[in-house]
Structure 1
Amino acid sequence: MKLIKQIDVFTPDHIGIKDILISDDKIVAIEDEIRFDVTGVAIDVIDGKGMLATPGFIDCHFHILGGGGEGGYQNRTPEVKLSQLTSAGVTTVVGCLGTDGVGRDMTALISKAKGLKAEGISAYVYDGSYRLPLDPVTDSLIKDFLTIEEIIGIGEIAISDHRSSQPTFDEFTRAAADARVGGMLSGKAGIINVHLGGGKKKYDLILRTVSETEIPISQFLPTHANRTSELFEASVAFAKMGGTIDFTASEDPDFWEKEDDEVRFSKGLKRLLDEGIGLDQFTMTSDGQGSLPYFDENNQFIGLGVGSSKALMVGIKEAVEKEQIPLEIALRAITCNPAKILQLGHKGRLEKGMDADLCLLHKEDLRIDTVIAKGQIMVEEEVVKVWGTFEQ
């Protein structure tokens, strides 16, 4: 058991200074003061003074097997390691493939997710890749949902992108319909995670599906919604229709905004709030392990980097410090909002009965100090305590 004393709690709603009691992998109490003295029961006491408690972060678009590859075999990025996620505050990750659904396949993706679960965090996957029709693991997409625990949606299906399979309306709606039914039958979200490219058609396939079928707008989670300012305008319109949009975070938002016309999360969120968009209609993900080009001061290409979940905290801090967005609102993007749309009812909030996934942050600069996943301390005082199997 663990007792966190006198910490400023964000559930993500701000509820003030509290004690938090954890037993095994669950939160069993959050009270003004908890006194615990039972003979024969060991309890670890954590001093929370000067720190904030938040739900563990949910990164629901991550290439856990690695990504990239569009520039040739040498551009394939490596698999993620456990500590890369936990040191960034991530306690739940959703893995996806991408352009390459052949050199990396669903069996490997599911196996990687199972490995991360065995190492101590929660992990799920989207079924498929950029391309349609999907190539299910079993003989049908619906059966995949019913028989494979980790599958909670499909994607990332690419549209409006030269790398997509240029899916027809019938292909797109059939996949969406099967994901919805598969989700209903298995008690999962059945979400359709859609990669938005920089093409001129933008949301056309999604909007036509919502208009011409009975599949609701809530079934879609379009990602890279802030890829360009033009696409972001379409994303704002989509949100006004009731849709949820996913921002892609960046560790260097100044660079990407300047070079690629990308709208940084902080500015995009401020715009959504100004437009009166609902507080549950946005998420932020890292697109982790995707390949990132780097340039020198003369804008000459100098090499490739790799996307990281560390970008999530960069986005949150910038929203708070530069746009004066309340922390409890910014945190929703990586806590309760992804938990809601992905129907992870035991994740995303600090409440009695929820999974004991927490981040403890330093109040003065929001620096991650301690990360607890399913009741286990993964990072303590900024030092990794639990390493992946082959990390040391």
Structure 2
Amino acid sequence: MLTLLTNARLYAPAPRGLCQLLIADRRLAAIAAADAPALASGPTVTVLDLEGRRVIPGLVDPLVHVTGGGGEGGFGSRTAELGLEEALASGVTTLVGALGTDAVTRTPAGLLGKVRELAAGGLSAYCYTGSYQLPPVTLTGSVREDILFVPEVIGVGEVAISDHRGSQPTTAELTRLAAEARTAGMLAGKGGIVFIHTGDAPTHLEPLREVARTSAIPLAQFLPTHINRTRELFEDGVRFAREGGRIDFTTSTTPALIADGEVPAAEAVARALHARVAPSRITLSSDANASLPRFDAEGRFAGLEPGRLGSLFEVLGECVEAHGLPLERALGMASTHAADALGLARKGRLAEGFDADLLVLADGAWTIDEVWALGRRVHRRG
């Protein structure tokens, strides 16, 4: 199965001008200038002219609650599962599913089943073992064996720190968990990342620094998210990234959360870059289908809205159009840097040998015309 895309204005994410891209089954077999001899021809080749439209890597989302989330306000506040059609239209071609606050009525087995459903629909879908609480819930009885033996499991998360909904883990517990994930990842050829939910308690990211200070685990073994939750946490996240860690900003938000002090994700990216945080230390995630809850001063539930997978693409547009970031620089936050942090070797770039995950953008607008996942067109606008 050969597909030749011609006249693609390629951002890989670095700009490469007008190109032709040859897709062989699931991967990019070759890339050449548009005016070079055709990369393939003949009756077995499907040729599609993209007419100069921009082509960018498919987005990589490190946190999606594919089985739904919420529940902090009782069973009536549970959020819905992610639908396949919504996922295909969002521009996210690679996602990582996670459990959150509720790891009782939503289970690791249910999470894995949903991940496999999305993969059957054409996406690249992975998941974390564990949830907010420790000891972690697992499929096999251990984090190590889940990462080693379950192909879709690439790390552990979303483990909560500095949050009243977490299990208030000790330094020793976090260190042991990170060591187990790191070693299992090495043995399995995976990232073994420890994905961290960060709350708004004043301890912020200090629990992760304490692990690095008292053990051989590097800060980069962790990927803490929701760093734009409050302005105080954002400032601590900037320091954390300068110290060698990575930080992840949440793209789903609400006007109420922003009024409460959350930093909008595009603004957080611009401010972090202005503070001289290396771009490779910044990622974006949607927190899709999770609840975006509000709590009062005493920690009582005050309402929620669900996160949206499409917010990831929208925030990239805000980075470019509202904050003046070059497209190639913004793209890395939701493609290259995310894939590198997660240890997904063939994701996040459009290069020979990489998976053929790409978005075709509308001419002159921040809109997705087509989504290609693993060499197949899975969505077309209209």
Q: TM-score, normalised by structure 1?
A: 0.91
The 5 A counterparts of 1:122-271 are: 122-250=124-252, 255-256=255-256, 258-271=258-271
RMSD: 1.8
CA distance, structure 1, for counterparts of residue 43 and residue 5 of structure 2: 19
CA shift for structure 1 position 275: 2.1
CA shift for structure 1 position 320: 0.8
Name the stretch that deviates more: 139-148 or 158-167. 139-148
Instruction: Give the secondary-structure state (helix, strand or coil) at the position aligned to 2:279.
Output: coil
Q: Name stretches of at least 5 consecutive residues in structure 1 with no aligned partner.
A: 295-300, 384-392
Whether the 8 Å contact between 2:22 and 2:40 is mirrored in structure 1 is: no
Whether the 8 Å contact between 2:193 and 2:221 is mirrored in structure 1 is: yes
The 5 A counterparts of 1:1-392 are: 1-33=2-34, 34-35=37-38, 38-41=41-44, 43-250=45-252, 255-256=255-256, 258-292=258-292, 305-380=305-380, 382-383=381-382
CA shift for structure 1 position 250: 2.7
CA shift for structure 1 position 293: 6.1
Instruction: Give the secondary-structure state (helix, strand or coil) at the position aligned to 2:312.
Output: helix
CA shift for structure 1 position 258: 3.8
CA distance, structure 2, for counterparts of residue 379 and residue 199 of structure 1: 41
Whether the 8 Å contact between 1:251 and 1:310 is mirrored in structure 2 is: no
CA distance, structure 2, for counterparts of residue 36 and residue 352 of structure 1: 13
After superposing on structure 2, the runs of 4+ consecutive aligned residues of structure 1 that deviate more than 2 Å are 36-40, 43-47, 291-294, 301-306
Q: C-alpha offsets along residues 4-61 of structure 1, whole Å, 9 cap, x if unaligned?
A: 11121110111111111111111111111352564441x3322222411011111110
CA distance, structure 2, for counterparts of residue 350 and residue 232 of structure 1: 31
CA shift for structure 1 position 206: 0.2
Q: C-alpha offsets along residues 206-255 of structure 1, whole Å, 9 cap, x if unaligned?
A: 00001110001110100001001110000000011011100000365xx2
Whether the 8 Å contact between 1:50 and 1:362 is mirrored in structure 2 is: no
Number of residues paired by the alignment? 373
CA distance, structure 2, for counterparts of residue 77 and residue 153 of structure 1: 24
CA distance, structure 1, for counterparts of residue 141 and residue 132 of structure 2: 19
CA distance, structure 2, for counterparts of residue 309 and residue 109 of structure 1: 17
Residue in structure 1 matched with residue 298 of structure 2 by the alignment: none
* % identical aligned pairs: 41
Q: Which amino acid aligns with 1:333?
A: M
Q: Which amino acid aligns with 1:280?
A: S
Instruction: Give the secondary-structure state (helix, strand or coil) at the position aligned to 1:280.
Output: helix
CA distance, structure 2, for counterparts of residue 367 and residue 47 of structure 1: 18
CA distance, structure 1, for counterparts of residue 287 and residue 222 of structure 2: 17
Whether the 8 Å contact between 2:288 and 2:307 is mirrored in structure 1 is: yes
CA distance, structure 2, for counterparts of residue 45 and residue 78 of structure 1: 39
Whether the 8 Å contact between 1:133 and 1:175 is mirrored in structure 2 is: no
CA distance, structure 2, for counterparts of residue 275 and residue 304 of structure 1: 32
Name the stretch that deviates more: 115-124 or 206-215. 115-124
CA distance, structure 1, for counterparts of residue 93 and residue 210 of structure 2: 36
CA pair 233-105 structure 1, distance change in 2 beyond 3 A: same
CA shift for structure 1 position 256: 5.0
CA distance, structure 2, for counterparts of residue 375 and residue 251 of structure 1: 32
Residue in structure 1 matched with residue 297 of structure 2 by the alignment: none
CA distance, structure 1, for counterparts of residue 222 and residue 92 of structure 2: 23
Q: C-alpha offsets along residues 294-324 of structure 1, whole Å, 9 cap, x if unaligned?
A: 9xxxxxx997542111101221111111110
